[in-house]
Structure 1
Amino acid sequence: MVVNEIPKYSVLMSVYYKENPQYLNLSIDSMLNQTILPDEFILVEDGPLTPELIRVIKKHILNNPGLFKIIKNKKNLGLGLSLRKGIKVAKNEWIARMDSDDYSIPIRCEQQLQFIKQNPEYEMVGSFEAEFINNMDNVISIHKVPEKMEQIKQFMHRRCAVLHPTVMYKKSAVIRSGNYRNVPLYEDYDLFSRMVLEYNIKTYNIQKSLYYIRTSPDFYKRRGGIRYAGTVLRFKWNQHVKGYMSLTDFIISGLGQAGVCILPNSLRKLFYMKVLR
Structure 2
Amino acid sequence: MGNVPKISVIMSTYNEETKELSSAIDSILQQSYTDFEFIIIIDNPNNKNLLSTVEKYAEMDNRIHIISNKKNMGLAASLNIGLQEANGELIARMDADDISAKDRFERQIAHFLNHPSTDILSTNCFYIDEDGKLIGKKSEIPTTKEAIEKILPIGSSIIHPSVMGKKVAFLKMKGYRKLETAEDYDLWLRMLSAGIIIRSLPDYLLYYRIRKNSMTKSNVYRQIMTDIFIREDYKKRIKDKSDVFSEKKYKKFITNNKQKQKFNYYYERFTLGVEKIQKNKFSLTGYGDVLSSLLMNKLVRYMFKMLLSYKVMVKKACGE
TM-score (norm 1): 0.82
1:14 is matched with which residue? 12
In structure 1, distance between residues paired with 2:133 and 2:214: 24
Matched, 1:191 2:183: no
In structure 1, distance between residues paired with 2:272 and 2:26: 34
What whole-Å deviation, never above 9, does each CA across 1:94-133 have from its counterpart, x for those lacking one? 0110000110010001000000011111111111011111
48-57 vs 86-95, which deviates more? 48-57
Matches within 5 A, 1:88-103: 88-103=84-99
1:155 is matched with which residue? 151
Matches within 5 A, 1:70-109: 70-109=66-105
Matched, 1:29 2:26: yes
1:203 to 176, 198, 202: 198
Q: Note the C-alpha offset of 1:77.
A: 1.1
In structure 1, distance between residues paired with 2:128 and 2:236: 32
What whole-Å deviation, never above 9, does each CA across 1:16-75 have from its counterpart, x for those lacking one? 1x210110001000000011014311111113142322221011100012x222222111
Contact 2:41 2:67 in 1 (8 A): yes
Matches within 5 A, 1:32-47: 32-47=29-44
Root-mean-square deviation (CA), in Å?
A: 2.7
State the structure with bigger RCO (CA 8 A, min sep 6), 1 or 2. 1
Contact 2:99 2:207 in 1 (8 A): yes
In structure 1, distance between residues paired with 2:120 and 2:190: 13
More helix by share: 2
SS in structure 2 at match of 1:223? coil
In structure 2, distance between residues paired with 1:266 and 1:225: 15
In structure 2, distance between residues paired with 1:56 and 1:265: 41
Q: Note the C-alpha offset of 1:88.
A: 1.2
Q: Residues 111 and 185 of structure 1: is their aligned pair in 2 closer, same or farther, counting only changes over 3 Å?
A: same
In structure 2, distance between residues paired with 1:202 and 1:114: 17
In structure 2, distance between residues paired with 1:137 and 1:265: 27
In structure 2, distance between residues paired with 1:94 and 1:238: 26
Contact 1:43 1:68 in 2 (8 A): yes
SS in structure 1 at match of 2:214? helix
Matched, 1:237 2:226: no
1:215 to 205, 210, 221: 210
Counterpart residue identity of residue 142, structure 2:
P
2:285 is matched with which residue? none
Matched, 1:264 2:271: yes
Matched, 1:51 2:43: no
In structure 1, distance between residues paired with 2:220 and 2:202: 30
1:62 is matched with which residue? 59
Q: Residues 212 and 229 of structure 1: is their aligned pair in 2 closer, same or farther, counting only changes over 3 Å?
A: same
Contact 1:224 1:265 in 2 (8 A): no
Matched, 1:228 2:226: no
2:258 is matched with which residue? none
Q: Note the C-alpha offset of 1:152.
A: 0.5
Contact 2:58 2:65 in 1 (8 A): no
User: What is the aligned-residue identity percentage?
Assistant: 28
In structure 2, distance between residues paired with 1:238 and 1:111: 31
Q: Note the C-alpha offset of 1:171.
A: 1.0
In structure 1, distance between residues paired with 2:29 and 2:273: 38
In structure 2, distance between residues paired with 1:91 and 1:168: 14
137-146 vs 148-157, which deviates more? 137-146
Counterpart residue identity of residue 79, structure 2:
L
- Structure 1: state its 5+ residue gaps: 2-6, 247-257
For the pair shown, the structure with the greater C-alpha radius of gyration is 2
